[in-house]
Chain A
Amino acid sequence: MSGVVAITGLRTFLGRRLAERLAEGGHARVVGIDHVRPRRLPPNVDCHIVDLTAPDAGATLAEVLHKESVTTLVHLAFRQEPSADVEADHELDAIGSMHALFAAAASGVERVVIESSTRCYGPRPDNPNFLSEAHPLRGHRHDHRVRDRIEVERLLAQWHERHADIGVTVLRPCWMLGPEADHPIARYLARPVVPMLMGYDPLIQLVHEEDVLGVFEQAALMPHPGTFNIVAPGVVPLSLLIRSAGKRTLSVPHRFLHRLRDFPSQTQTGDEPSGFYDYLRYLWVADGEAGWTEFGRPTYDTRETWASFVGARRLRSMS
């Protein structure tokens, strides 16, 4: 037993699967935290109800962490589905993370592992082909959730200056796919006809969910201080990715994109459509070398990740 791991956001995909893996591995006791009790609690996982958007969330969470003598806090409580409620998203993603960090410091946690994203670098024509962890997080001004996540990283850096004795691991996965993937990007890429921007075809980088889980598991059990891009090796142009799955692409001039119903855009996130489709326009590929050195090379590369995602979807649609 190497201590007690607390996971906020137990009901998120990463939270649930990480709790299962850690409990199964038996190297640490697992405490799950969410604002609603999950319908099916993984075996050997204790669950506490804490609403991170509540004004006194910091104190409540600190109490739980202290009572359970938690050594590592894995913070994954971020909004999973698109919502147009900018205020509520900010309360959970940015302010909720602040509460979690304050609670961690108050309760004597040894290490904090926090989920970020390579989306924080932002899609820009002036990005280098491979973004290193040191590259500034420029995000996208029309994606409020990326804005919130950048604020979390900034907050974390300030907080870490005051609490230098607490080890901090920031993990930035890119678009995560796999057999279980069910999020806006997965649904977008799973369409039979995938809208693309006319005249643009950026290189896309993916990462497999099992590889991400493996990295989070390592970070939860052993100290791996630092910031790491969590990406799979290899890049594939978007059009080739889509066609290789036997799907069709639909080229849309970017001025008309927001008219497409059901496109992950303004109707679902309240943001300008460019907040999503610029990620299909310019490069935002991250350099995974540091992460691979620290945690080992992923089992799936970008192509295999895609095949695993497409294959699982096909089987599901057949059954």
Chain B
Amino acid sequence: MSQPPESPDLMDSAIEALTDRIRERVAPELDMDEVFELFEQLRKTAGAIGVRERTGEIDEFGMDREYIREVAPVLDLLRTRWWRIGVQGADAIPREGPVLFVANRSGMLPWDGLMVADEVARQRDGDRPRFLIADWLITLPWVQPAMARMGGVRACRENAERLLRTGRSVVAFPEGAKGATKVYRERYQVQRFGRGGVVRLAAELGVPLVPVAVVGAEETNPILFKVERAVRPFGLPFVPVTPTFPWLGPLGMLPLPTRWSLSFGDPIDPADFGVDAAADEIAVSRLNEEIRQDIQRRVRMLLEERLNPFA
């Protein structure tokens, strides 16, 4: 981001001009109200110099449209060249109104959330959904502000509810950390879907659920094994060991160029399954499990279609 150079000359001349105007008006007939009004004007002008009118682009969750425009070429490169993302079922995405997307979580960093959100934004003419990210990502320097600017929001009920209520779509990963930190040999086994919070939220707000299967993100940073006991004294839950991390240092965090596929399912209205705001826990968890199995089925189908992760 380049900054416009500060111009003291501009400020000086503006103040001079205003001071002249004050003198002009004050001299003939000292009207104090007018003096105060001009003083207020002077105050506002002085305050506004150098204040760039860019803050309007940032919304209450910290998403920065200008920043997204700046990084759009990189996102496009990732989508078309690096991961060569294939998309199925994009026509089924509702074009209007808030939607709660439910996807399987994989890979350490939330590349999958970013790319699902990006794909939906392209399908919905720039109406970019927010993707929910785990708490621990928010503690990481540089990751936290970058994620917030690109539409990442901490995963919690309050945030998801506020977003959906204000008409914004959300990409949720109900597997949570269990999905993000599974080791390579458990790849593409969709984990338990939390406690059904996603279904309950959609039912309470009357928002459609769209299941999304993501294949390819699992191999971007494959965790071979986790070092747990040795790093406990340092306050870390575990350190992942991938083919490139920690051997290459921060470079090892770069995602590998696997081929990705996204598969969007048809929108599910919880009311069609007899799940509404007053539904009992059993009905909620039944639908929850059904969505998990649907995503698991889609993942298997996509896996059968591909030859190997990089082809």
**Residues 90-131 of chain A: 1 if any B CB is under 8 Å from the residue's CB, otherwise 0?**
000000000000000000000000000000000001111110
Nearest chain B CB to A199 CB, angstrom units: 2
In this assembly, does A270 line the interface, its C-beta being within 8 Å of a C-beta of chain B?
Answer: no
Residues of B within 8 A of A130 (CB): 60, 158-159, 162
A240 lies within 8 A of B54 (CB): yes
A314 and B55 in contact (CB under 8 A), knowing A126-B156, A129-B159, A235-B62? no
- Which residues of A sit under 8 angstroms from B44, Cβ to Cβ? 307, 311
**Do the beta carbons of A199 and B142 come within 8 Å of each other?**
yes
A212 at the interface (CB under 8 A from B): no
Distance of A268 Cα from B58 Cα, bound (Å): 34
In contact, B43 and A312 (Cβ under 8 angstroms): yes
1/0 contact trace for B150-162 toward A, CB 8 Å?
A: 0001101111001
List chain B residues, Cβ under 8 A from A201.
144-145, 148
The smallest beta-carbon distance between A296 and chain B, in angstroms, is 20
Contact A200 B154 (CB under 8 A): no
CB interface residues, B 122-155, toward A, < 8 Å: 135-136, 138-142, 144-145, 148, 153-154
Structural contact, B47 and A314, CB atoms closer than 8 A: yes
B21-58 interface (Cβ within 8 A of A) = 42-44, 46-52, 54-55, 58
When distances are taken between beta carbons in the complex, the residues of chain B under 8 Å from A315 are 42-43, 46
**Is there an interface contact between B47 and A312, defined as CB atoms closer than 8 Å?**
yes
Number of A-B contacts (CB under 8 A): 101
Q: Which residue of B lies closest to A282 (CB)?
A: B138
Contacts A243-B3, A311-B46: A303 and B144 contacting too (C-beta < 8 A)?
A: no
Chain A residues with Cβ below 8 Å from B280 are none
B310 contacts the other chain (CB 8 A)? no
Q: Mark A147-191, 1 if CB is under 8 A from B, else 0.
A: 000000000000000000000000000000001000000000000
B191 to chain A, nearest CB (A): 21
Query: Which size bracket describes the interface of A in this complex?
Result: 35 or more
Q: Please give, as numbers and ranges, the residues of chain B lying within 8 Å of A244 by CB-CB distance.
A: 50-52, 54-55
CA distance A283 to B152 in the complex (A): 14
- Cα A309 to Cα B136 in complex, Å, equals 35
**Of all chain A residues, which has the CB nearest B136?**
A125
* Interface residue from A240, A245, A311, A318 paired with B58 (Cβ < 8 Å): A240
**B273 in the interface (beta carbon within 8 A):** no
Question: Is there contact, CB below 8 Å, between B61 and A129?
Answer: yes
Q: Contacting A236 at CB < 8 Å: which of B15, B58, B156, B162?
A: B58
Interface residue? A5 (CB, 8 A): no
Q: Could you say which of B47, B58, B148 contacts A308, with CB atoms under 8 Å apart? A: B47
Bound Cα distance A318, B45 (Å):
14
Q: Are A311 and B47 in contact (CB under 8 A)?
A: yes
Task: Assess whether B47 is in contact with A237, with CB atoms less than 8 Å apart.
Answer: no
- A287 CB → nearest B CB, Å: 8
User: Is A214 at the interface (CB under 8 A from chain B)?
Assistant: no
In the bound complex, how far is the Cα of B50 from the Cα of A310, in angstroms?
11
Determine the residue in chain B with the shortest Cβ distance to A201: B145
CA–CA, A318 and B15, complex, Å: 10
The residues of B that contact A237 with a CB separation of less than 8 Å are 58, 62, 64, 145, 148
- Closest B residue to A247 by CB, please name it: B50
B55, A303: Cβ atoms under 8 Å? yes
Contacts A282-B138, A311-B44, A315-B46 given; indicate if A246 touches B6 (C-beta within 8 A): yes
CB of A21 to closest CB in B, whole Å: 18
Minimum Cβ distance to chain B for residue A306 (Å): 8
Contact present for A199 and B47 (CB under 8 Å): no
Q: Which of B46, B139, B142 contacts A314 (CB 8 A)?
A: B46
Given A243-B52, A308-B47, also A128-B158 (CB < 8 A): yes
CA gap between A128 and B158 in the complex, in Å? 6
Given the interface contacts A125-B138, A198-B141, does A132 sit within 8 Å of B62 by beta carbon? no
Closest B residue to A310 using CB positions? B47
Decide: A125 near B135, CB < 8 A? Known: A203-B148, A312-B47: yes
With A236-B58, A312-B43, A314-B47 given, is the CB distance from A129 to B162 under 8 Å? yes
Partner of A245, one of B50, B62, B136: B50
CA separation between A215 and B55, bound complex, in Å? Answer: 26
Known: A203-B148, A246-B6, A282-B138. A129 touches B153 (CB 8 A): yes
* A234 in contact (CB, < 8 A): yes
Q: A129 and B60: CB pair below 8 A? A: yes
Identity of the chain B residue whose Cβ is nearest the Cβ of A301 in the assembled complex: B55
Nearest-neighbour CB distance to chain B for A232, whole angstroms, equals: 12
B50 contacts across to A, CB distance below 8 A: 244-246
Question: A199 touching B138 by the CB < 8 A rule?
Answer: no
Interface residues of B in 54-99 (CB under 8 A from A): 54-55, 58, 60-62, 64
**Are the C-beta atoms of B162 and A307 separated by less than 8 Å?**
no
Is the beta-carbon distance between B51 and A307 smaller than 8 angstroms? yes
State A201–B60 Cα separation when bound (angstroms). 14
**B51, B55, B154: the one within 8 Å of A126 (CB):** B154
**Docked CA distance A243–B4 (Å):** 10
Cβ–Cβ contact A235 & B158, under 8 A = no
- Determine the chain B residues whose CB is within 8 A of the CB of A312 once the complex forms: 43, 47
Q: How far is the CB of B28 from chain A (nearest CB, A)?
A: 25
Q: Is B52 within 8 A of A200, CB to CB?
A: no
Is there contact, CB below 8 Å, between A203 and B47?
Answer: no
Q: Report A's interface with B, CB cutoff 8 A.
A: 125-130, 132, 179, 197-203, 234-237, 239-241, 243-246, 282-283, 303, 307-308, 310-312, 314-315, 318
List 9 additional contacts besides A203-B60, A235-B62, A310-B51; criterion CB under 8 Å.
A126-B154, A128-B159, A128-B162, A200-B141, A234-B55, A241-B55, A244-B54, A311-B47, A315-B46
13 cross-chain CB contacts under 8 A: A125-B138, A126-B135, A128-B154, A129-B154, A199-B140, A199-B142, A237-B58, A237-B64, A237-B145, A240-B54, A307-B44, A311-B43, A312-B43
